[in-house]
Amino acid sequence: MNEVQEQPLKLPQPHHAARIPPHIAPADVERIRRAAYLLPQVVKPADFQADDEPEPPDLERRGFIQLARAAAGARPSRWVHPSQLDAALRHLDAVGAGPEVRGLMLERMAALEQLGITRHGLGWERLLQHPLVLDEPAWTLQLAHRAPVDEAPVWDFLRTGDRRVLLAALGLPAPYPQADAVLAQLRQLVARSASGHPRQLDSLLPRLQAECGVPQPLPALQAALTRAQDRWEHRAAEMDTLASLTSELAFHGYPDSFPLARQMQRSVTLFVGPPNSGKTHAAFERLAQALDGAYLAPLRLLALEGRDRLMARDVPCSLLTGEENVPAPEARVVSSTIEMVSTQQPIDVAVIDEAQMIFDSARGWAWTQAIVGVPANEVIIICSAYAVPAIERLLRLCGEQCQVRHFERKQHVQLLGAPVPIGALKRGDAVVAFSRRDVLMLRDQIADNGHPVSVIYGALPPEVRRREAERFAHGASHVLVATDAIGMGLNLPIRRVLFSTMTKFDGQTERPLDVSEVHQIAGRAGRYGMHDEGFAGVLREAEPTALRALKDLLPRQPRAPRDFKAPVAPGWWHVNTIAARLGLNKLRTVLGIFIEQLRLDDAHFAVAELDQMLELAGLLDEAGGNLSLRDRFVYAQAPVDTRTPMLVEEFLDWVHHHAMTGEAGSPGFLSEVDEHSRLDRMEQALRACSLWLWVDLRFPGVYGEVDAVQDLRSRLNDGIERHLKGKKPLWQRRGRGH
């Protein structure tokens, strides 16, 4: 007997042994258990979780056999259904369980995904395209639908990798069973459209194709097609009569609430590639040649860098962020944060950076707004490859097509095979952590080993981040310790990116890093022209599973959320229309109605996460009830962290003074802190400075004292930098916090 046969059956739940079919020997079950993380027949609870379900189902109640328990902060539990045991054994016999199997399975699963085949619960399904041919006009629409797939040829392919055998077994794609009903509706909609607005008929096709491109039940699809035709009809009528956009249109289609962008024949190009592939450089080369234009950045730091890039090319460029408006003489380009995009001023070229952030639950609405609403003759959208389908679909809803230009990374990031101890760090290393506390603790430990250290984390103002980055770039510091802030845009000479952990606190729970986060951070290693090669690895002081997690995530490609819906946030037009139609004056009530109204088009759009805005709106209705609805709406968009009660209280005090006296009063923080205060106190005061400058920019004459606030901000920046450059340990108990 071999080693496996000699061992007794080991299951996390011993009573699950009764679920094993009689013909399966205990030794075979043990083989499956040992190979649980390599077998495609083995599942996780999340594989059965629907998008609208808060918790995964209980596989225990479904009769599954548990093979491995969940590991806290690491791998989820693993299960297998009794009916899949035979297939699992055949797979083991054919493929084995050696170290090369994981990569082989990732490759074959990727091949299945290219064919549209994905796991659906216990079975498999295939995303198919059914052509719908219209005779008049001569249109062909591709109708997306999912059809179940027999599991046997899928298991065979995962064992053998024989694509030809798989395709032969799959046969011809299954037709969409309700195709005739959809085709009849399309003919009816097109005929109605042609009779009313024949000159605009060509712009109907992209809208109908956008609806057909989303797999959905027949009633939902038919309702979506009808809504698309209704929205097109409103739009076509406006174009035919040159009438201005009516207040009703905002409730029929989000893209049509940006009339200037819809009137322009925009040329849209996606610049697609991984970090360090040159796509941003190419976009700036085009922007520098524009008659006028805008660079829309995800962060104030990158807006500052964008202005510097253009000024270095002798292109006069203004700066516009949430807290400052710095015009440049004879400027023809503005570099701004994306939330500050102008949808009212036509320009020649607009560059939208880091557009994969449209998937961000809190800020994604800003990318939706910019992509749909920026009125530019030419729009360049910089993004990662996994965001392309979502952006293309969003543009089709606007009646627009786009071109895709691909950029390849000059050198690939290689995985370090062994963890690196802190004592073995070298010049050009960047250590990544995910909280202020961990960054400062690592900074102190690395400095104790004799390395000058630069530090970058979210609470630092952009000016200090730039200075710290420059110290590292110029060699004044040997090692950079940073949060995932380095994953976006910073141009740094990093040779090795080392993760201090593979988990992060997301504001609610400690969770593993996802594929897109790992790629964005690791991609900063090996900057072209600075290092010939780049490496990614983990610190030896990280958790024991860190290297295995990085090894698992680094080869994978990031994916967009399944059935993604573009997030939308309200503008003043939406708020004013609702208030006027319904006679309302409470901002909290108006925003609540907005959330419900946009659900009418939930096949493509979803209301952004507005929890903070809703919370602020209720507080503003109380503290600033005498202010106009528009003023309260402006205040509701202020960058106030509602998890910081002292800052919220101070902010509402300013609002109350504004409402009662027309002036905000004097900012208390001017006399409470200076450049010699504790590090955490200076960081808190800087947030108050930024907030004061933000509201002053929007309420001229109400706030004032801008010179004093800017002077304090400058002194605090200097004070923080002195702390970071100094040799004194920075991590102190009173400064703790994420």
pLDDT of residue 185: 94
Q: Between these two residues, 295 and 473, which has the higher pLDDT value? A: 295
Q: Are residues 251 and 267 in the same domain?
A: no
Does one domain contain both 430 and 522? yes
Check if the beta carbon of residue 705 is closer than 8 Å to that of residue 670: yes
- Angle 506-507-510 from CA coordinates, rounded to 5°: 50
- 235 confidence band (pLDDT: 50, 70, 90): confident
pLDDT surpasses 90 at 531:
no
So what's the pLDDT on residue 731?
66
DSSP H or E run through 20: none
- pLDDT tens, 130-150? 999 998 888 999 999 999 999
In a domain, 561, yes or no: no
Is residue 643 within 8 Å of 362, Cβ to Cβ? no
- Listed residues 525, 553, 581: the one ending a domain: 553
pLDDT band, residue 2 (cuts 50/70/90): very low
For residues 522-540, average pLDDT: 79
pTM of the model: 0.67
Supply the pLDDT for residue 607: 81
* pLDDT bucket at 73, cuts 50 / 70 / 90: low
Q: Stretch 34-43: mean pLDDT, rounded?
A: 90
Both 211 and 285 in a single domain?
no
Assigned domain for 80 exists: yes
For residue 549, give the CATH number of its domain: 3.40.50.300
Mean of pLDDT over the chain: 87
In this model, does residue 429 exceed pLDDT 60?
yes
Asked whether the predicted pLDDT for residue 737 surpasses 60, the reply is no
- Show the DSSP H helices in 179-330 as ranges: 179-196, 204-212, 218-241, 259-263, 279-288, 300-312
**Going by C-beta distance under 8 Å and a sequence separation of 6 or more, which residues neighbour residue 689?**
669, 709, 710, 712, 713, 716
Rounded CA separation 566/296 (Å) = 18
233 and 279 together in one domain? no
- Do the domain assignments include residue 137? no
C-beta contacts of 473-478 below 8 A and 24+ residues apart? 475/427, 476/452, 477/451, 477/452, 477/453, 478/425, 478/426, 478/427, 478/428, 478/429, 478/451, 478/452, 478/453
Q: Find out whether 135 and 185 touch, Cβ atoms under 8 Å.
A: no
Residue 141 lies in a domain: no
Answer whether residue 154 shows pLDDT above 80.
yes
pLDDT greater than 90 at residue 525: no
Are the C-beta atoms of residues 189 and 208 closer than 8 Å to each other?
yes
pLDDT at 583: 78
Looking at the structure, tell me whether residues 77 and 205 fall in a common domain: no
Which residue carries 């399966």 as its tokens? 24
Clarify whether residues 578 and 692 are in a common domain. yes
Q: What is the pLDDT of residues 211-220, one digit of tens each?
A: 999 999 999 9
Q: Which of 588, 639, 555, 596 is nearest to 104 (CA)?
A: 555
- Neighbouring CB atoms inside 10 A of 1's CB total 7
Runs of H (alpha helix) within 7-84: 26-34
| Three-state DSSP class for residue 131 | strand
Q: Is the dihedral of CA 17, 19, 25, 27 positive or negative?
A: negative
* Helical pair 587-597 and 611-623, crossing angle rounded to 10 deg: 150
Give me 137's structure tokens: 């006009």
The pLDDT of residue 23 is: 93
Say if 100 falls within a structural domain. yes
* Distant-in-sequence, close-in-space partners of 725: CB < 8 Å, separation ≥ 6: 471
| Residue 629 is assigned to a structural domain of this protein | yes
Residue 576 near residue 620 (C-beta atoms within 8 A): no
Asked whether residue 457 falls in the same domain as residue 587, the answer is no
For residue 490, how many other CB atoms are within 10 A of its CB?
A: 24
Question: Is residue 134 in a domain?
Answer: no
Same-domain pairing of 366 and 449: no
Tokens of 685: 């005061």
Residues 518 and 472 in one domain: yes
111-115, 554-558, 730-734: range with lowest mean pLDDT: 730-734
What's the CA gap between 74 and 550, in Å, rounded? Answer: 12
Query: 731 and 606, same structural domain?
Result: yes
The pLDDT, as a whole number, for residue 465 is 85
Clarify whether residues 86 and 166 are in a common domain.
yes
pLDDT at 86 over 60: yes
Tell me: pLDDT of 738 over 50: no
Residue 730's pLDDT is 65
Can you give the residue range of the structural domain that contains 242?
A: 179-255
Total domains present in the chain: 5
Identify the sign of the CA torsion 592, 594, 596, 599: negative
* Distance between CA atoms of residues 458 and 442, nearest Å: 16
Average the pLDDT over 669-684 and give the result: 87
- Express as a percent the part of the chain with pLDDT over 90: 55
Q: Which of 355, 375, 353, 374 is nearest to 364 (CA)?
A: 355
The pLDDT of residue 624 is 92
Strands 496-499 and 429-432: parallel
Other CB atoms within 10 A of residue 99 CB: 8
pLDDT digits (tens, 9 = 90+) for 605-636: 888 888 889 999 999 999 999 999 999 999 99
Q: How do residues 631-667 score in pLDDT, each as one tens digit?
A: 999 999 998 988 788 899 999 999 999 999 999 988 9
Which residues, in sequence order, are CB contacts of 69 under 8 Å at separation 6+? 12, 77
Q: Predicted confidence band at 683 (pLDDT cuts at 50, 70, 90)? A: confident
Shared-domain flag, residues 279 and 206: no
Q: Which of 497, 522, 553 is the last residue of a domain?
A: 553
Give yes or no for a contact between 407 and 277, defined as CB atoms under 8 angstroms apart: yes
Q: Per-residue confidence at 532, pLDDT binned at 50, 70, 90? A: low
Domain boundary residue, one of 497, 525, 553? 553
* H or E segment to which residue 146 belongs: strand 139-149
In a domain, 418, yes or no: yes
